[in-house]
Amino acid sequence: MTNDTNVTQFTQKRDCSLCNLSEICLPEGLTPDEMGTLDSIIKRRKPKQKGEFIFRDGDTFTSLYAVRSGSVKTFATGNDGSTMVTGFHLSGEILGLEGINCKQHVGNAKALETTSICEIPFNQLSALGQDIPKLQQQVFRVLSNEIGQEQQVMLLLGKKSSEERIASFLLRLASRYHTRGFAAKEFNLSMSRSDIANYLGLAVETVSRIFTRLTKQGIVNINRKLVMINDESALRDIANEPQPDTDKKRTNS
Partner DNA sequence: AATGTTGATTGATCTATATCAAATATTTAT
Partner DNA sequence: ATAAATATTTGATATAGATCAATCAACATT
201 in contact with DNA (CB under 7 A)? yes
Residue ranges that bind its own copies, judged by CB under 8 A: 76, 78-80, 82, 84, 86, 97-102, 106-107, 126-127, 129-130, 133, 136-137, 139-141, 143-148, 150-151, 153-155, 157-159, 198-201, 240-242, 249-250
Q: Identify the three-state secondary structure at position 74.
A: strand
Among 178, 205, 226, 240, binds DNA (CB under 7 A): 205
Give dist(CA 210, CA 159) in Å, integer. Answer: 18
Q: How far is the CB of 176 from its own copies (least distance, A)?
A: 16
Give dist(CA 136, CA 127) in Å, integer. Answer: 9
Q: 63: how many CB neighbours lie within 10 A of its CB?
A: 24
Whether 48 contacts 114, CB under 8 Å: yes
88 in contact with DNA (CB under 7 A)? no
Cβ proximity to DNA, 62 vs 190, nearer residue: 190
Strand arrangement, sheet containing 226-229: 186-188, 226-229, 220-223
194 in contact with DNA (CB under 7 A)? yes
181 binds, among its own copies, DNA, none (CB under 5 to 8 A by kind): none
Residue 111 forms beta bridges with which residues? 72
Residue 10 forms beta bridges with which residues? none
In eight-state DSSP terms, residue 47 is P
Size of the site for DNA (CB under 7 A): 19
Cβ proximity to DNA, 109 vs 220, nearer residue: 220
Q: 202: how many CB neighbours lie within 10 A of its CB?
A: 21
Binding-residue pattern over the window 153 to 192 for DNA, x denoting contact by CB under 7 A = --------xxx----------------------------x
Residues of the shown chain interacting with DNA in the complex, contacts defined by CB under 7 A: 161-163, 192-194, 201-209, 211-212, 222, 224
